[in-house]
Structure 1
Amino acid sequence: MPTIPDFPRFRPRAPWWGGDLQTLRNTLLRRAPSLEHWPGEPLRVALSDGDQLFATRHCPEHGEARPTVVLIHGLTGSEDSTYIRASAAYFLERGWPVIRMNLRGAGPSAPYCRSAYHAGRSEDLRAFLAGLTQQDPQIRRHGVLPLAYSLGANMLLKFLAERDFPVPLPGAVAVSAPIDLEAASRAIARPRNALYQRYLLACLRAEFRRWPLDLSVEERREVLSARTLLAFDEVWTARRNGFAGALDYYRRSSAAPLLPKIQVPTLLLHAADDPWIPAAPHLQAAEHASPLQVLVAPSGGHVGFHAADDPRSWHDRCAERFFRQLAAGDGVAAAS
């Protein structure tokens, strides 16, 4: 695929130096932008098991016919996560149609789901995109450009490697993807990450309580008493989804071994100082010839990338530049 030589160089914004401050700025200072200039249209896609996926579609005020940017959140997120709303505003301002997707059990879909998303549940993304083709002629005609974050980014990469697309898909971008789930689990369990792990577990418990699950008192107690993400995945994610255990879930769901199978132009963005996700698997992926472009910035944290030269996220600027080239053609054919 053609190279893009002019991605902006990432330099962290003062005083948000280092991976931790880059990661925390989304929570500490950044406000979710208003999308009132682009009224949202609710979407709903029914899954074969009766669960339902929810999303919100926005159309730009002006703009040529283009693929729709589908934004996919990460662990404990939703369509209203700060980084999702920021990306939506960024792309809408530049004339791109946008869909903010909720994974199974996230956001408004929680009361309508008896099971939940996980890092390998690529079949949900496939079903969601298939549902969109039935609802939106523009998507049937122009396709989608997925932009996914963290856990959702691993799911997206797995989906791309499976090569079964129900809609034209010219390319994709993955940000801060935990492509080696076991390595990410070990990283978050380090003592220096104790506060992060405590925060994520609190969010996971809150999600769990919102789901209409038919569980015994003992089963609920066991899940809610998990004190590490590994334990939560052992007693809930793995058990609920037919894995032999957490390590089996990580092994079968990690995208890293599948990356050579991806044939769609794909951009992976990561930070060397991400405190949650080790950079080594991304650096290894960059060594292999494929349609993947891998950018590992020296800093940026986890889904941070707050830059000195622009108030808008570095990852949004890189993704939009990548998508603009694909939409313009430049010899890159859409995959379907």
Structure 2
Amino acid sequence: MNDFAPNGLLKNPHAQSILASTRLRKIRSYPRSRAMLNASKTVVLDCGNGQQLMGEHAAHDVRSKGLITLIHGWEGSSQSTYLLSAGGILFAAGYDVFRLNLRDHGPSHHLNRELFNSARLDEVIGAVKAIHQTYPQQWQFLAGFSLGGNFALRIAAEAANAGLKLDQTVAICPVVDPAKTMIALEQGWWVYEKYFVRKWQKSLRKKINLYPELGYQDSLFKLKTLRDMNSYFIPNHTAFSDADAYFQAYSIADDRLTTLNSPAHIIAAQDDPIILAEDFARLAENQHLSIETKRYGGHCGFVKNYQLDSWLDERLLELINLRRYPTGDPAKTQQG
């Protein structure tokens, strides 16, 4: 497909990063996502070990081309603009779509007592296994955005040990080195840090109202920055003693992806203000991993015009179709 070549203001990484999640774009993309939304049903998944996650499954009345599981970014949800936009395009192309909520994202705070943290990989693997078992398809795909892209790649790296079959994984602007991402949020444009502080605090207030025994009511109001919040919640509400150990637990740098045994593709932007493009050079070489880096795009942006159409949605569908129909012609490919 044509390369991503935005014009004017759309070359600005902050414009790209913000436009991707705006309400205006959600309204603009609604006609394309309406069929998926009308077909969607809320599902609670048993992830094992007493853990549950929630998502929304949209299936076709007739046999579909396969199932695509989508994972949102940090403090996003199955209702995030970028997930609805991508899901709508994929559903319209004939794929079933499952939009998964991570723990304490979307309306799922009541399902588990303990707080979300990004090292909780086992329960997300359990969720994907439950999705595949409940909605079996010959073709199974996985895609994630930002932190969801990080989860998707870690899941793909553990797929063989977990007994998961993944035909392809696509990660959009995935977090590579969480410690560097946190520094970028702290030292970059103040809007990003304030956004995540506000969203995280709102989520934590929901949680403490449901589970007051977690005991952080009084502390929450004193925490004004991401560093403050990490310094309090990591030692008190995770299995890690400090931020360095926690960030290392979900980093995908160095040798973390050496166990990939199915196709995985990364889409990134050189001007991403949150995930530094230089981080992708730290990923382990793997015959199954390919990296596509664009000059522009911001963080999970890739808005191609002032009608707020998404180049990313089209590219995601193209990548999945190329895997599904390697000859380029569905008529020449054995139907699943």
Amino acid at match of 1:43: V
Q: Give the secondary-structure state (helix, strand or coil) at the position aligned to 2:128.
A: helix
Amino acid at match of 2:121: S
Residue matched to 2:320: 323
How many residues align? The count is 317
Amino acid at match of 1:25: L
Residue matched to 1:111: 110
Residue matched to 2:206: 210
* 2:270 maps to which of 269, 272, 280: 272
1:188-232 deviation line (CA, Å, top 9, x unaligned)? 110x42121011100000111112334465x33324432222332
Q: Give the secondary-structure state (helix, strand or coil) at the position aligned to 2:258.
A: helix
Residue matched to 1:161: 157
Mapped partners of 1:263, 1:305: distance in 2: 28
Change (3 A) 1:13 1:31: farther
Please say if residues 67 and 139 of structure 2, whose CA atoms lie closer than 8 Å, have aligned partners that are also in contact: yes
Please say if residues 10 and 304 of structure 2, whose CA atoms lie closer than 8 Å, have aligned partners that are also in contact: no
Q: Give the secondary-structure state (helix, strand or coil) at the position aligned to 2:53.
A: strand
Residue matched to 2:40: 40
Q: Give the secondary-structure state (helix, strand or coil) at the position aligned to 1:78.
A: coil
1:247 shift after superposition: 1.3
Residue matched to 1:59: 59
1:166 shift after superposition: 3.8
1:271 shift after superposition: 0.8
Change (3 A) 1:90 1:228: same
Provide the identity percentage. 21
1:37 shift after superposition: 2.2
Residue matched to 1:333: none
Q: Give the secondary-structure state (helix, strand or coil) at the position aligned to 1:125.
A: helix
Amino acid at match of 1:85: L
1:45-82 deviation line (CA, Å, top 9, x unaligned)? 124343421111112466x5432011100111110000
- Is residue 2:214 matched to residue 1:179? no
Gapped regions of structure 1 (runs ≥ 5): 1-6, 331-336
Give the aligned CA root-mean-square deviation in angstroms: 2.3
Amino acid at match of 1:50: G
1:133 shift after superposition: 3.5
Amino acid at match of 1:21: A
Amino acid at match of 1:67: G
Mapped partners of 2:93, 2:306: distance in 1: 19
Change (3 A) 1:193 1:115: farther
The two structures have a TM-score, normalised by structure 1, of 0.86
Residue matched to 1:230: 227
Please say if residues 120 and 254 of structure 1, whose CA atoms lie closer than 8 Å, have aligned partners that are also in contact: no
